[in-house]
C-alpha cells in the first residue's frame, strides 16, 4: 500500500515535472498582462499570419516551378521576360496589405505614447549594473540588483545554474506596483545607455544618460513579471534583471508603509558576532563590489584593481572606510552605505577567505559611524549605544578626515 | 574612332605589361583580375576569422552559466565578429567580385583607376589588421557592439583610437573602391553597352557605389566625434556638456542602414545574374529590377531611425519611420516576384550556384518577413534588441549575402581558374550549409520572442534548449565551410578537368564574361567587343 502510494506520488511528480519542462521554453511572444500588451500581441500575430500567407503563396509557386519546370523532365524554357500587368498587380497588392497593416499599427503607436493621466510615477535609473527605482509620490527609493544566488552561480563555476531558481531573472529587491493603476515610468541612466524591458508589459524603453524617456503601464492581474536590460551596457549587461511585482492596492499600500519605515530607520548599531559580520559583509560585497573586483577579489587586470592582498585593504581600517566613502576617479563614492553596511563590508574585505585576506580583526557598526552621523542619530549622546560611546571618540573621526576630493 | 584608340592601347599592353614574376606581382599589381583575387582571398580568410569569433560566442552560449570566456571578452567577440564580417569579409568579397567581373561584363580592359585600385586593397588590409591588433591591447578590443554607441564605447581601453583610425582607413578604402566602380561603369563600357543593357550585377554595384560614397564620410565623421569626445573634451554625445548620446545613433544609422544595403544590393545583382542562366530564360522584369534597386537604395537613406524605435522618438517620428520602412517591402517584394517569375516555365538545372541562389531567394525572403514584422514600430518595442533581430539580420546576411558569395564562387571559379570544380562536393557543401544555417538561426526567432536579449554571455534556464540547438547548428555550419576552401584549392589545382569557355550551357547569351577563354587571360577586352549580347532581351 505504501509502495503504491509512493509510486503514485512519483508518477504525479513526473507528470508535473514534464509539465514544467514544457512550460520551460516558449516559441512565441508572451500575450502579457496589460491591455496594451494584448493589443501588441494581436498585432504581432496579424503580421505573422500575413507573412505566413504570403510565404506560402510565393514559395508554393517557386517550388511548383522547381519541381515541374526542370530540364531533367524535358521542360522547354519559355522566353517571356516582361508582363506589365502582372508587375503592376504585384506592386499594388503588397501596397494594399501594407496600408491595412499600418492602420492598427498607427493606433498602437498612439496608445503606447499615451502617458498622460497617470495615477502615479516611478523614476527608473539604469546604472552599471543595476536599476534604481524612485517612487515620485512617496519618495521611496531603492536599488535593485541581481539576487545573490544568481550572482554567485554565474561567478563560481562549481554552482550549477540549473539549481538556482529564476537564474539571472531574479533580484534582491523587486519593483512593487499596484494593479489596475496607470503608472507612468520615467527613464534615465547614470552612466551609459540601458534599456528597461519586461515582456509582459509589452514594451521596452531606453534609459539615456542626461535625458528622460517615459512610458506607461496598467497591469490587469497580480503577479511576478520578469525582464532584463536590453541595451548592451558593458561587461555585466547580462546580469541586471528586472522583477516587477504587481499587487492589489491595499497590499501595495501596506508594502509602501513598511518600506518607508525601513528606509527611515538608521543603521543597526548593535554589536554583532564576527561570523554575522562576515556573512552580512558578503551580501554588501555582492551587491556593490563584485561587478568590478570579482568574486575572488582578484579584480580584472587592466581594468579593476585586485583586493586580494592589497595593502589598501589590509592596512588601516579607518583609511579603508574613508577610501570607500570617497571613491576615486574610476570608483563611485559609496556614501550610500550605512554605517552597519560599511562595517560589515570592511570586515569581509579584510577577513574573507573568498578574497584571500585574513587580517584577523572585525569592525562594528559604531566604528564606521562618523561623529557627525552619531550626533544626527543621537543628539543626546547618553542615549547612544554603549559601544558607540566607547568607539565614538577615535575611529569615526578618521573616516571623515580621510575623505578625498 | 573609339575602336582605333582601343586597338592602339591593345598594342601597348601586349608589349609592356604581363604579370610580374614572384610575390611582388601581388603587391604592386594594378590588374583588375589580380586585385579581384586578392580581395576575394582576403575576404575568405576574414570569413574564417569572423567565423571563429562566432564559434567562440556560440560555445559560450551552448549552456547556461559562464564556461569559457569573461563577459568583457564575450562583448569584444560580438563586436569584433560583426566588424570583421561586415568590413573584412562581406564588403571586400563583393569588391573582389566587382573587380573581377565588372570590366569583363561591360567589355572594358580594366578598372578605370588601376593604381587607386591597388591602394584601396592594401588600405583595407592595413585597416583590418589594425582592428585585429586591438584584440591584444590593454583593456581589450572594443566591446560596445559594432554600432560603437557612446557613452559605452568611450569606456574602451587603449584600443579606442586604434579602432577609430581603423574605421577611417576602411572608409577611405571603400570610398576609393566605389569611385573606381563608378568611373569604370560610366566611362569604360564597350560601344553599344548602354546603361539599360548592363547586367544586373553591374547595375546593383553602380548603385551600391553611390551609397558607399554617401555614407562612409558620415561614419568617419561620427567616429571622429567619438575621438574628440574622448580625447579633446568635446561633448557631442555627452549630456553633461550639452551633447546627446542619441545624436550618435542618428548619425550612425544614417550610415548604418544604407550600409546593410551595401551588403545586400550586389547580392541581388549576382542572384539576378545566376538564376536566368540555370533557368535558361531571360531575367524577368529587367527594368523593374533596376528601378526596384534604385528605389531600395533611395529608401535606405530615409528609414534610419527604425533602428531606434525604443530610444524615445517623438510620436511623429515613430509614425514616419514606420511608414517609410514598410515601403521597403514593395520594391523588395518586386525583386522576389521577379526571381520567381524568372524560374517559372524555365528549364531549370540545379548546379551548385543555382542551389545557393534558390536558397538565397527563400531564406532572404524569410529575413524580409521578419524585417516587415519589425518595421511595425509598436511591435518592435517587443522585438528590439532581442534574439529575434539577431535571427532577422543573420537571415539577410548569411543565407543571403554569404550564400550568394558562395554561389558566385562556384559560378565563376571555372572562368577564373579554367578548371571545373567538383560538383558532388559542391552540392554536399550546399546541403550541409542550407540545413545547418537553419538549425543555427531559426531557433533564434523563438529565443527572441520568448524574451532573450541579444549580446548577453549567459542566460536564464528557459533559453537553454534552443541555444544548444543553435550552437550545434553553428558548429555544423562553420565546419562545412571548410569544404568550400577545399574546393577552391582543388579547382585551382585542376579540379575535375578543364572548363569550356562558356562553362554553363548557353551562358554566353547571358554575359560577356563567357565569351572570353577559360581561364580568362590576364588582359581581356583590350579591343572592345563588337557584338553586345542582349541577354535580357
State pLDDT tens for residues B393-427.
999 999 999 999 999 999 999 999 999 999 999 99
Q: What is the pLDDT of residue A25?
A: 64
Instruction: Give B36 or A401, the one with higher predicted confidence.
Output: B36
Query: Which among A28, A55, A236 has the least Cβ separation from residue B449?
Result: A28
A174 and A42 within one domain: no
Q: How many angstroms separate the Cα of B27 from the Cα of each of B14, B30, B172, B417?
A: 21, 9, 19, 20
- Backbone φ, ψ for residue B489 (5° rounding): -65, -45
User: Using a CB-CB distance cutoff of 8 angstroms, which residues of chain B are in contact with residue A204?
Assistant: 310, 381-382, 384-385
Q: What is the pLDDT of residue A335?
A: 83
**Residue A146 in domain:** yes
In sequence order, the β-bridge partners of residue A195 are A206
Instruction: Give A361 or B324, the one with higher predicted confidence.
Output: B324
Place of cell 563577459: B71
DSSP B382-406: HHTTBHHHHHHHHHHIIIIIIHHHH
Is residue B11's pLDDT more than 50? no
A161 and A96 within one domain: no
Is residue A82's pLDDT more than 80? yes
Per-residue pLDDT, averaged over A148-164, amounts to 90
A286 and A358 within one domain: yes
A124 and A102 within one domain: no
A152 and A90 within one domain: no
A260 and A295 within one domain: no
A100 and A232 within one domain: no
Q: What is the pLDDT of residue B9?
A: 44
By CA distance, what is B505's nearest residue in A?
A: A71
Instruction: Select from A61, A89, A109 the residue whose CB has the most chain B CBs within 10 Å, as the one to mutate to test that interface.
Output: A109
Domain boundary among A226, A241, A264: A264
By CA distance, what is B318's nearest residue in A?
A: A109
A129 and A254 within one domain: yes
Residue B504 is classified by DSSP as S
Per-residue pLDDT, averaged over A240-245, amounts to 96
Nearest-neighbour CA in chain B from A213: distance (Å): 6
Record: contact A228-B245, CB cut-off 8 A: no
Per-residue pLDDT, averaged over B177-205, amounts to 94
Query: How many domains, chain A?
Result: 3
Q: What is the pLDDT of residue A318?
A: 82
CA distance A179 to B459: 29
The CA-based dihedral angle spanning residues B446, B449, B452, B454, taken in that order and rounded to the nearest 10 degrees: 90
The CATH number of residue A341's host domain is: 1.10.760.10
Q: What is the pLDDT of residue A18?
A: 45
Q: pLDDT tens digits, residue range B53-85?
A: 999 999 999 999 999 999 999 999 999 999 999
* Whether the model pTM is above 0.95: no
Per-residue pLDDT, averaged over B422-435, amounts to 96
Q: What is the pLDDT of residue B532?
A: 56
Lowest mean pLDDT, pick from A4-18, A67-81, B236-250, B412-426: A4-18
Please report, for chain B, the start and end positions of each structural domain, with discontinuous segments joined by +.
32-515
Instruction: Select from A69, A149, A216 the residue whose CB has the most chain B CBs within 10 Å, as the one to mutate to test that interface.
Output: A69
**Residue A22 in domain:** no
Counting Cβ atoms within 10 Å, is residue A117 exposed (0-12), middle (13-18) or buried (19+)? exposed
Q: What proportion of chain A, given as a percentage, has pLDDT over 70?
A: 85
A286 and A253 within one domain: no
Is residue B199's pLDDT more than 50? yes
User: Using a CB-CB distance cutoff of 8 angstroms, which residues of chain A are in contact with residue B340?
Assistant: 58, 61-62, 65
A257 and A220 within one domain: yes
CATH number attached to the domain at B32-515: 1.20.210.10
Per-residue pLDDT, averaged over A9-34, amounts to 63
User: How would residue B17 be classed by pLDDT, with cut points 50, 70 and 90?
Assistant: low
- Range of the structural domain that residue A365 is part of: 274-401
Chain B, residues 40-99, CB within 8 A of chain A, namely: 64-67, 70-72, 75
**Residue A27 in domain:** no
**Residue A11 in domain:** no
Query: Which among A27, A94, A193 has the least Cβ separation from residue B152?
Result: A193
User: How would residue B382 be classed by pLDDT, with cut points 50, 70 and 90?
Assistant: very high
Q: pLDDT tens digits, residue range B478-521?
A: 999 999 999 999 999 998 999 999 999 888 888 899 999 989 99
A393 and A284 within one domain: yes
**Residue A72 in domain:** no
User: Using a CB-CB distance cutoff of 8 angstroms, which residues of chain A are in contact with residue B287?
Assistant: 82
**Residue A297 in domain:** yes
A125 and A105 within one domain: no
Q: pLDDT tens digits, residue range B146-161?
A: 999 999 999 998 999 9
Instruction: Give A14 or B377, the one with higher predicted confidence.
Output: B377
Record: contact A102-B284, CB cut-off 8 A: no
The CA-based dihedral angle spanning residues A142, A144, A145, A150, taken in that order and rounded to the nearest 10 degrees: 140
Q: What is the pLDDT of residue B254?
A: 97
CA A392, A398, A404, A405 torsion: positive or negative? Answer: positive
Q: pLDDT tens digits, residue range B336-377?
A: 999 999 999 999 999 999 999 999 999 999 999 999 999 999
Q: pLDDT tens digits, residue range A353-388?
A: 888 888 888 888 887 777 667 667 776 766 767 666
Is residue A13's pLDDT more than 80? no
Is residue A23's pLDDT more than 70? no
Amino acid at each position: 500500500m505504501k509502495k503504491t502510494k509512493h509510486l503514485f506520488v512519483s508518477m504525479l511528480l513526473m507528470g508535473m515535472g514534464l509539465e514544467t519542462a514544457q512550460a520551460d521554453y516558449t516559441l512565441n511572444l508572451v500575450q502579457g498582462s496589460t491591455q496594451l500588451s494584448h493589443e501588441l500581441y494581436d498585432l504581432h500575430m496579424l503580421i505573422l499570419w500575413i507573412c505566413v500567407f504570403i510565404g506560402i503563396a510565393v514559395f508554393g509557386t517557386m517550388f511548383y516551378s522547381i519541381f515541374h519546370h526542370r530540364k531533367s523532365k524535358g521542360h522547354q524554357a519559355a522566353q517571356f521576360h516582361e508582363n506589365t500587368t502582372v508587375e503592376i498587380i504585384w506592386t499594388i497588392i503588397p501596397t494594399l496589405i501594407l496600408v491595412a497593416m499600418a492602420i492598427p499599427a498607427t493606433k498602437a503607436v498612439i496608445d503606447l505614447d499615451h502617458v498622460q493621466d497617470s495615477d502615479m510615477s516611478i523614476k527608473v535609473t539604469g546604472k552599471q549594473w543595476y536599476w534604481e527605482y524612485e517612487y515620485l509620490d512617496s519618495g521611496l527609493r531603492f536599488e535593485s540588483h541581481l539576487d545573490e544566488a544568481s550572482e554567485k552561480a554565474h561567478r563560481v563555476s562549481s554552482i550549477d545554474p540549473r539549481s538556482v531558481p529564476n537564474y539571472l531573472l531574479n533580484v534582491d529587491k523587486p519593483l512593487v506596483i499596484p494593479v489596475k493603476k496607470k503608472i507612468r515610468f520615467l527613464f534615465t541612466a547614470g552612466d551609459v545607455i540601458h534599456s528597461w524591458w519586461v515582456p509582459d508589459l509589452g514594451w521596452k524603453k531606453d534609459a539615456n544618460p542626461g535625458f528622460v524617456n517615459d512610458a506607461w503601464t496598467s497591469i490587469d492581474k497580480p503577479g511576478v513579471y520578469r525582464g532584463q536590460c536590453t541595451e548592451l551596457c558593458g561587461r555585466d549587461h547580462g546580469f541586471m534583471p528586472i522583477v516587477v511585482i504587481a499587487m492589489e492596492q491595499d497590499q501595495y499600500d501596506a508594502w509602501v508603509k513598511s518600506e518607508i519605515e525601513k528606509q527611515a530607520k538608521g543603521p543597526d548599531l548593535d554589536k554583532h558576532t564576527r561570523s554575522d559580520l562576515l556573512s552580512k559583509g558578503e551580501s554588501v560585497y555582492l551587491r556593490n563590489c563584485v561587478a568590478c573586483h570579482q568574486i575572488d577579489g582578484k579584480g580584472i587586470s587592466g581594468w579593476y584593481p585586485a583586493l586580494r592582498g592589497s595593502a589598501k585593504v589590509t592596512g588601516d581600517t579607518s583609511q579603508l572606510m574613508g577610501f570607500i566613502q570617497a571613491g576615486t576617479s574610476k570608483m563611485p563614492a559609496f556614501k550610500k552605505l550605512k554605517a552597519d553596511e560599511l562595517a560589515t563590508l570592511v570586515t569581509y574585505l579584510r577577513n574573507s577567505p573568498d578574497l584571500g585576506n585574513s587580517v584577523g580583526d572585525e569592525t562594528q557598526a559604531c566604528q564606521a559611524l562618523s561623529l557627525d552621523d552619531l550626533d544626527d542619530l543621537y543628539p543626546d549622546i547618553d542615549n547612544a549605544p554603549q559601544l558607540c560611546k566607547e568607539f565614538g571618540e577615535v575611529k569615526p573621526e578618521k573616516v571623515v578626515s580621510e575623505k578625498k576630493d | 574612332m573609339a575602336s582605333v584608340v582601343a586597338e592602339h592601347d591593345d598594342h601597348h599592353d601586349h608589349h609592356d605589361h604581363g604579370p610580374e614574376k614572384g610575390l611582388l606581382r601581388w603587391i604592386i599589381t594594378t590588374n583588375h583580375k589580380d586585385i579581384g583575387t586578392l580581395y576575394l582571398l582576403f575576404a575568405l580568410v576574414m570569413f574564417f576569422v569572423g567565423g571563429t569569433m562566432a564559434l567562440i560566442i556560440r560555445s559560450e552560449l551552448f549552456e547556461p552559466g559562464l564556461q569559457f570566456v569573461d563577459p568583457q571578452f564575450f562583448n569584444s567577440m560580438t563586436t569584433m565578429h560583426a566588424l570583421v564580417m561586415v568590413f573584412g569579409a562581406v564588403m571586400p568579397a563583393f569588391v573582389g567580385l566587382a573587380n573581377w567581373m565588372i570590366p569583363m561584363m561591360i567589355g572594358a580592359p580594366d578598372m578605370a583607376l588601376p593604381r587607386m585600385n591597388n591602394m584601396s586593397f592594401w588600405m583595407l588590409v592595413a585597416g583590418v589588421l589594425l582592428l585585429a591588433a586591438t584584440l591584444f591591447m590593454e583593456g581589450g578590443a572594443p566591446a560596445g557592439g559594432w554600432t560603437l554607441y557612446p557613452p559605452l564605447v568611450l569606456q574602451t581601453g587603449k584600443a579606442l583610437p586604434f579602432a577609430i583610425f581603423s574605421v577611417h582607413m576602411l572608409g577611405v578604402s571603400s570610398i576609393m573602391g566605389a569611385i573606381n566602380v563608378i568611373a569604370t561603369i560610366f566611362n569604360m563600357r564597350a560601344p553599344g553597352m548602354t546603361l539599360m543593357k548592363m547586367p544586373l550585377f553591374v547595375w546593383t554595384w553602380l548603385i551600391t557605389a553611390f551609397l558607399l560614397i554617401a555614407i562612409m564620410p558620415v561614419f568617419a565623421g561620427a567616429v571622429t566625434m567619438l575621438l574628440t569626445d574622448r580625447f579633446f573634451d568635446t561633448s557631442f554625445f555627452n549630456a553633461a556638456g550639452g551633447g546627446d548620446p542619441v545624436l550618435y545613433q542618428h548619425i550612425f544609422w544614417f550610415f548604418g542602414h544604407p550600409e546593410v544595403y551595401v551588403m545586400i544590393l550586389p547580392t541581388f545583382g549576382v542572384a539576378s545574374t545566376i538564376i536566368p542562366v540555370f533557368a535558361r530564360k531571360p531575367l524577368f522584369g529587367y527594368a523593374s529590377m533596376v528601378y526596384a534597386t534604385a528605389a531600395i537604395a533611395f529608401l535606405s537613406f530615409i528609414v534610419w531611425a527604425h533602428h531606434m524605435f525604443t530610444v524615445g522618438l517623438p510620436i511623429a517620428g515613430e509614425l514616419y519611420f514606420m511608414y517609410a520602412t514598410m515601403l521597403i517591402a514593395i520594391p523588395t517584394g518586386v525583386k522576389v516576384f521577379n526571381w520567381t517569375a524568372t524560374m517559372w516555365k524555365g528549364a531549370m538545372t540545379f548546379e551548385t550556384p543555382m542551389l545557393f541562389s534558390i536558397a538565397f531567394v527563400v531564406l532572404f525572403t524569410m529575413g524580409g518577413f521578419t524585417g516587415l514584422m519589425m518595421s511595425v514600430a509598436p511591435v518592435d518595442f517587443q522585438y528590439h534588441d532581442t534574439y529575434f533581430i539577431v535571427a532577422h539580420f543573420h537571415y539577410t546576411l548569411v543565407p543571403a549575402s554569404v550564400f550568394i558569395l558562395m554561389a558566385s564562387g562556384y559560378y565563376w571559379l571555372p572562368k577564373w581558374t579554367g578548371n571545373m570544380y567538383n560538383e558532388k562536393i559542391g552540392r554536399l557543401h550546399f546541403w550541409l550549409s542550407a540545413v545547418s544555417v537553419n538549425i543555427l538561426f531559426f531557433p533564434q526567432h523563438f529565443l527572441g520572442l520568448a524574451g532573450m536579449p541579444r549580446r548577453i554571455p549567459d542566460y536564464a534556464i528557459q533559453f537553454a534548449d534552443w541555444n544548444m540547438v543553435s550552437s550545434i547548428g553553428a558548429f555544423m555550419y562553420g565546419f562545412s565551410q571548410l569544404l568550400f576552401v577545399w574546393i577552391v584549392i582543388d579547382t585551382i589545382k585542376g579540379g575535375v578537368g578543364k572548363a569550356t569557355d562558356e562553362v554553363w550551357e548557353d551562358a554566353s547569351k547571358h554575359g560577356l564574361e563567357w565569351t572570353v577563354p577559360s581561364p580568362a587571360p590576364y588582359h581581356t577586352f583590350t579591343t572592345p567587343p563588337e557584338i553586345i549580347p542582349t541577354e535580357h532581351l
